[in-house]
Amino acid sequence: MNAEVAYKKVFERPKSLKDTPTHYCPGCGHSIAHRLVAECLDELGLREKTIGVPPVGCAVLAYNYFNFDMIEAPHGRALAVATGIKRVLPDKFVLTYQGDGDLAAIGTAETIHAANRGEEISTIFINNAIYGMTGGQMAPTTVLGQEATTAPGGRDAKLHGRPIDISAMIAICDGAVFVERCSLASIKDIRRAKRAIKKSFQSQLDGLGFSLVELLSPCPTNWKLSPKDAWAWVNDVMVKTYPLGLIKDTTGYEDKK
Amino acid sequence: MVGEAAVRAGCRFYAGYPITPQNELPEYLSARMVEVGGTFIQAESEIASVNMVLGASAAGGRAMTSSSSPGIALKQEGISYMAGQELPAVIINMMRGGPGLGNIAPSAADYFQATRGGGNGDYRTPVLAPAGCQELAELTFLAFDLADTYRNPVVLLGDGLMGQVMEPVVFPDFVDLETLPERDCTLTGCEGRSPRALFSMLLNTDVLYRHNLHLQEKYDLITAREQRCETVMTEDADIIIVAYGTAARIAESAMEELRAAGMAVGLFRPITLWPYPTNPLRQLASGAKKVAVFELCLGQMLEDVILSVGERAEIFFYGIPGGPVPTPAEIAEFIRSAAEGDGKVGRRIEV
């Protein structure tokens, strides 16, 4: 019997991902997020017209994994670089993929203003509440009480300030048309995240404006938890500071269930 | 001035942030870019604007940003990245007084910032120094051509006086955008080819080592090919004034005054500050007795003059910091003092 007849291929690597192992730690959310982005690009037929801008942080090497044009930006400047690209090539698809330090600390100004200008760019925001690449320092999104190498004893509002909800800040900008917070810490949430990413991409294709999908993403290494416990920490602790769900949607799209 | 020249040179992307004394440029481009189908963005900061230029350049456009001294300090991040990623761009600096916020007078204290680079890493940027509005327009064209030829950011260094005076200018003709050479570094989506990545992070030390050597080869080529200067009445000169930009305009008037009084004085005016026109200056210095350096700061280009001239001639220096613009008579006094060696104006430099 012919193998093709006996076995139907139901799952394969998206074309938007290169056939190469990543450097991400076991249990890290980046690999899942990469795959969701790649699946959405494939399904919308966007790979060959996409230009991606990765962050400085753990995903700085994303151009080794994504199989489309990519350009490195200085730390925090992804949305400024992406603005330059999109304005010169308005018919191309431009996305940024940024972590919390990149997007919500050093790149706050670039992020807020790109959103407010309504740049037709899709941003994937990986929120893991920690600086991963540099070894576990406090992030702008580190939650109160969470241990970090620069917040010994846990984040204390008096000493370190409070975590920032940048997605809510972006949502109040008129130029932002779609903002949703999802999680990568359960199968159900991962499926929901994919729907949100696809909607964000569609809104760019339709020229509606800026969109952002925040993904609560486990970092077992720097949280010093097992991958399983890291999922539980997202679901039990992190969501209390960052409740999941739609934050803003003026796209007018009807949700297909 | 620079705005119209840039548009004619094919620039279709400008991003900047307001700072005096260069606001005339973004104000002009805010309307002009729309007329020619280009992009004008008033960004949220100097840092954002230079990084928008980085993106626009990667997408294939001739792109430019402008600022003045403290704003350029912020742009050094993007300039270093573009040097590392080998992306062309033009950066205009209409210098003002410093350090810090300083003032908005025509100081020329950013020679080090422009020629040594305030950004991190082993990189160089060509620096062009016009002395008037006509040359400002012409060097804007050259800046875009050099940037494309060498895939490197290029700095055009003017000052607050140049940024705000009015002089008649004959603009060069429009460049036909179709005739600009295609770049192989452009990101347009990977249709029909394998994906490209533009980055400056090369974690492998051997790879970064080779990348730096490659860049240095390019800088050596620029140094060999692109030294530019103007000389005025230097053939029979016993004393040669070295000055650039606005300082050179003042020095030229002083020179004419001294020539009329029978003094054998000439002017050497660097047009490229990097690469510094070391070879022609060295030759001149070998034939002259004295070199008199005049700057609108306390001695920055002076270091390149010392490196070029060495002990071939006696070197004198006169500098004015903070923005006051001296009269030609004041500079003539300096030249006379240098010729006499009486130490009344300026000082003798021990090499």
Largest distance between two CA atoms of chain A:
70
Q: Are B188 and A89 in contact (CB under 8 A)?
A: yes
- The rounded distance, in Å, linking the Cα atoms of B30 and B246 is 27
Indicate whether A2 belongs to any domain.
Answer: no
CB neighbour list of residue B291: distance below 8 Å, 6 or more residues apart: B239, B240, B242, B268, B285, B305, B309, B313, B314, B315, B316
Q: Answer whether A73 sits within 8 Å of B55, measured CB to CB.
A: yes
What letter would DSSP give residue A136? Answer: S
Q: What is the pLDDT of residue B211?
A: 98
Q: Answer whether A83 sits within 8 Å of B192, measured CB to CB.
A: no
Q: What is the pLDDT of residue A176?
A: 98
- In tens, the pLDDT along B122-176 reads 999 999 999 999 999 999 999 999 999 999 999 999 998 887 888 999 999 999 9
CA distances to A123, B43, B46, B49, B191 from B28, in Å:
32, 16, 18, 17, 37
3-class DSSP state for residue B223?
helix
Size of chain A, expressed as the number of residues it contains: 257
Mean pLDDT of the A64-87 span: 98
Residue whose C-alpha is closest to residue A82's, from A62, A53, A109, A110: A53
Range with lowest mean pLDDT among A51-55, A183-187, B30-34, B181-185: B181-185
Residue whose C-alpha is closest to residue A136's, from A101, A181, A96: A101
B190 closest CB neighbour out of A48, A53, A84: A48
Bridge partners (DSSP) of residue A99 are A126
Residues of chain A with Cβ-Cβ distance to B61 below 8 Å are: 88
Closest-CA residue of A relative to B53 is: A84
CB neighbour list of residue A102: distance below 8 Å, 6 or more residues apart: A55, A56, A57, A75, A76, A78
The encoded tokens of residue A1 equal 């019997």
Burial (CB < 10 A; 0-12, 13-18, 19+), residue A188, is exposed
Strand order in the sheet with A122-127: A245-249, A176-183, A210-216, A122-127, A93-99, A50-53, A69-71, B197-198
- The rounded distance, in Å, linking the Cα atoms of A182 and A196 is 8
Residue extents of the structural domains in chain B = 2-188+214-225, 230-349
- The rounded distance, in Å, linking the Cα atoms of B111 and B131 is 15
Look at strands B89-95 and B62-67 and give their pairing.
parallel
Q: Are A59 and A132 in contact (CB under 8 A)?
A: no
B196 closest CB neighbour out of A69, A80, A92: A69
Rg (CA), chain A: 18
Residues of chain A with Cβ-Cβ distance to B15 below 8 Å are: 84
CB neighbour list of residue B258: distance below 8 Å, 6 or more residues apart: B265, B332, B335, B336
Mean pLDDT of the A166-195 span: 98
Q: What is the pLDDT of residue A257?
A: 45
Indicate whether A229 belongs to any domain.
Answer: yes
- Choose the CATH number for B230-349 among 3.30.2350.10, 3.40.50.920, 3.40.50.720, 3.40.50.12780: 3.40.50.920
- The rounded distance, in Å, linking the Cα atoms of A103 and A31 is 19
Tell which of A16, A53, A85 to mutate to test the B interface (max B CBs under 10 Å).
A85
Q: What is the pLDDT of residue B164?
A: 81
Q: Answer whether A70 sits within 8 Å of B197, measured CB to CB.
A: yes
- The C-alpha of A112 sits at a distance from chain B's nearest C-alpha, in angstroms, of 9
Indicate whether A13 belongs to any domain.
Answer: no
Tell which of B44, B49, B50 to mutate to test the A interface (max A CBs under 10 Å).
B44
Angle at B76 between CA B70 and CA B79, to 5 degrees: 140
3-class DSSP state for residue A249?
strand
Size of chain B, expressed as the number of residues it contains: 351
Q: What is the mean pLDDT of chain A?
A: 96
Map tokens 């680079």 to a residue: B117
What letter would DSSP give residue B162? Answer: H
Closest-CA residue of B relative to A56 is: B201
Indicate whether A95 belongs to any domain.
Answer: yes
The superfamily CATH assigns to domain B2-188+214-225 is Thiamin diphosphate (ThDP)-binding fold, Pyr/PP domains (3.40.50.970)
Q: Answer whether A87 sits within 8 Å of B39, measured CB to CB.
A: yes
Residue whose C-alpha is closest to residue B128's, from B107, B106, B145, B103: B145
Map tokens 């400056």 to a residue: B200
CB neighbour list of residue A244: distance below 8 Å, 6 or more residues apart: A181, A182, A183, A189, A216
Q: What is the pLDDT of residue B162?
A: 85
3-class DSSP state for residue B331?
helix
Buried b (16+ CB within 10 A) or exposed e, B192-223: eeebbbbbbeeeeeeebeebeeebeebbeebb
Measured in degrees and rounded to the nearest 5, phi and psi for residue B289 equal -90, -35
Given a cut of 80, whether residue A3 has pLDDT beyond it is no
Indicate whether A217 belongs to any domain.
Answer: yes
Q: What is the pLDDT of residue B288?
A: 81
3-class DSSP state for residue A146?
coil
- In tens, the pLDDT along A191-210 reads 999 999 999 999 999 999 99
Report the run of H or E that residue B15 belongs to, with start and end.
Answer: strand B11-16
Q: Are A244 and A185 in contact (CB under 8 A)?
A: no
Range with lowest mean pLDDT among A29-38, A47-56, B176-185, B272-281: B176-185
Residue numbers of the domain that contains A139:
23-249
Those residues of chain A whose CB sits closer than 8 Å to some CB in chain B are: 47-51, 53, 60, 63, 66-74, 77, 80-89, 92-93, 109-110, 112-113, 117
Indicate whether A8 belongs to any domain.
Answer: no
Residue ranges in chain B modelled with pLDDT below 50: none
pTM: 0.96
| Residue type, position A251, single letter | T
Indicate whether A117 belongs to any domain.
Answer: yes
Q: What is the pLDDT of residue A4?
A: 64
Same fold, B2-188+214-225 and B230-349: yes
State the total domains in chain A.
1
Q: What CATH number does the domain containing A113 carry?
A: 3.40.50.970
